[in-house]
Structure 1
Amino acid sequence: MKELLNNEYQLTGEIGRGRFGVVYRCYSTVSGDSFACKSIDKRLLSDHTDRECLQKEPKILHILGGNPNIVQIHRLYEDDNYLHMIIDLCDSPDLFDRISNRSGVFSETEAASIFSPLMLAISYCHRLGIAHRDIKPDNVLFDSRGELKLADFGSAEWFAMSDAGMMTGIVGTPYYVAPEVLSGREYNEKVDVWSAGVILYIMLAGVPPFYGDSPAETFEAVLRGNLRFPTRIFKSVSPEVKDLLRKMLCKDVSRRLSAEQVLRHPWVVSGGETRSMADLT
């Protein structure tokens, strides 16, 4: 299988590394088009959950194929020791790097230009019965044209196939994980809306809404879910986007917006061009 991979694609250099594998830049020996090759060493998968995630991600990417804001899988190669996925090349800085490298925060129009395609990707996943479950800036990639691509579906789940559309299991990342996940209760796809709300807050404020000095303290802050807008940070942030954040970072899941509802919120529809709240009524 490795020989077939090498015949069809030429690997040219490492561009990323994770717990179980390496991402390489590559190009097709037939078309010359550039791609990324995500190579996973199956010998490093220590438990059933890891192996299940390995098998699940390619299947989910195939289901989600065709969406311009989701990383596409083009070819799959597998042998006893490795799984190689040929996927879209996203060689521009990811959202984590873009946030880290800024001297200041994003303007509302800049934030909206990233947030809107992210929510389009999340909404598309939810319509097909898939929850990502690990929405964070590191998984928000950009290709050479600057197009946003949601990536890394290793923690994703088919909630449409589960009982009453509910899921279990503690997955996600400190700062971004929803409180109902940490509580150990069943939860639905709105965990992705919470995580996207955290990303929006960070883009506007430069700091996360819930944090502590350790992962344990951060989890406690998430569980409390006490959302605040410090005047020093939010004095120039519009009432419209704060209204959206309150409705996304809402502990009561029944009152939290769905992804589709987020896309219909006036702040998103306007592209971050703010108006007075009186104009919204």
Structure 2
Amino acid sequence: MMCESFNSEYQLCEEIGRGRFGVVYRCFSTASGDSFACKSIDKRLLTDATDRDCIDKEPKILHLLSGGHPNILQLHNVYEDEHSIQIVTDLCDSADLYDRLNDARAFSEPHAASIFQQLISAIAYCHRLGIAHRDIKPDNILFDSRNRLKLADFGSAEWFGGGETRTMTGIVGTPYYVAPEVLSGREYNEKVDIWSAGVILYTMLAGVLPFYGETASETFQAVLRANLRFPPRIFRSVSPEAKDLLRKMICKDVSRRLSAEQVLRHPWVINGGQTDSMADLT
């Protein structure tokens, strides 16, 4: 069921995705003819306060972020009535990073860097505004028709503010990508996003995850141990600079983990994954 105000401005087209609470459709503006994505949420499926909070929070955060960065999904309109919410955003109709990783396995360093530079730039922008995404994963990294990255799905995002503490609580995220301090139940800061982005970079370069198990519990235990390894068979052709960046992002000691701004200044990122040194064979 669509809000009447939405129907007066947009024409709904085919379904392009489906989530826990709703369906994503392609739509177009009847005034301009431009195409967009519409996330349609059935409010009757929001069974608890946490679910409702996520749905309420996402458009507010997208509104704050919209227009400020080319690699963050842009919010165009929100419509709400008694039974439903429609969130109109950029249309990202290319394969997301999850599908690209499944198709290509490992990426070359320049290819991985071209994606990673856009991702970490978007994360740094969020952090400058006091927003932590808290669910950075390949499924939430979309691409538009021009192959430009768009960081999406801010339902788990949180304001961490500009105070001295700058901490958050709550277990959110996805098992393979969540930072160990989140799983341990401690307070944490925005660097949880850096851990998750590091896991994504590792996966792009290696074609495998750094921490995994047969069950969610085993995966959580592997993340908590945070025993980062670079198997020679997989990492033989990966540069020392890339490994250095990974060690500084997937770092259990949060005080030593790089910030988003520091990641942007790392030589591997600045040089776009192009390195002159020989690959580390150890």
Tell whether the structures are fold-level matches, with TM greater than 0.5: yes
Which residue number in structure 2 is paired with residue 88 of structure 1?
Answer: 90
Deviations 1:39-73 (A, max 9, x none): 11111011111111111100100110111100011
Which residue number in structure 1 is paired with residue 172 of structure 2?
Answer: 171
Which residue number in structure 2 is paired with residue 193 of structure 1?
Answer: 194
Distance in 1 of aligned mates of 2:88 and 2:21: 16
Which residue number in structure 2 is paired with residue 246 of structure 1?
Answer: 247
Contact 1:240 1:275 (8 Å CA) reproduced: no
AA in 2 matched with 1:35: F
AA in 1 matched with 2:169: T
- TM-score, normalized by length of structure 1? 0.96
Distance in 2 of aligned mates of 1:231 and 1:209: 14
SS in structure 2 of the partner of residue 22 of structure 1: strand
Deviations 1:172-230 (A, max 9, x none): 00110000000000000000000000000000101100111111000000000000000
Is 1:69 the counterpart of 2:71? The answer is yes
What pairs up with 1:22-171 in 2 under 5 angstroms? 22-66=23-67, 67-102=69-104, 104-160=105-161, 164-171=165-172
Q: Residue 126 of structure 1: CA displacement?
A: 0.1
Identical pairs, percent: 75
Q: Unaligned 5+ residue runs, structure 1? A: none
Distance in 2 of aligned mates of 1:62 and 1:2: 20
Q: Residue 137 of structure 1: CA displacement?
A: 0.2
Which residue number in structure 2 is paired with residue 275 of structure 1?
Answer: 276
Contact 2:3 2:85 (8 Å CA) reproduced: no
Contact 2:15 2:24 (8 Å CA) reproduced: yes
Distance in 1 of aligned mates of 2:122 and 2:173: 18
Contact 1:240 1:274 (8 Å CA) reproduced: yes
Contact 1:212 1:218 (8 Å CA) reproduced: yes
SS in structure 1 of the partner of residue 8 of structure 2: helix
Distance in 2 of aligned mates of 1:252 and 1:33: 47
SS in structure 2 of the partner of residue 92 of structure 1: coil
SS in structure 2 of the partner of residue 77 of structure 1: strand
Number of residue-to-residue matches in the alignment: 276
Distance in 2 of aligned mates of 1:42 and 1:164: 35
Distance in 2 of aligned mates of 1:58 and 1:269: 33
Distance in 2 of aligned mates of 1:170 and 1:161: 22
Q: Residue 275 of structure 1: CA displacement?
A: 2.8
Distance in 2 of aligned mates of 1:256 and 1:276: 24
Deviating 4+ runs (over 3 angstroms): none
AA in 1 matched with 2:226: G
Contact 2:26 2:36 (8 Å CA) reproduced: yes
Q: Residue 161 of structure 1: CA displacement?
A: 6.2
SS in structure 2 of the partner of residue 164 of structure 1: coil
SS in structure 1 of the partner of residue 95 of structure 2: coil
Q: Residue 101 of structure 1: CA displacement?
A: 1.0
Deviations 1:125-165 (A, max 9, x none): 00000000000000000000100000000000000167711
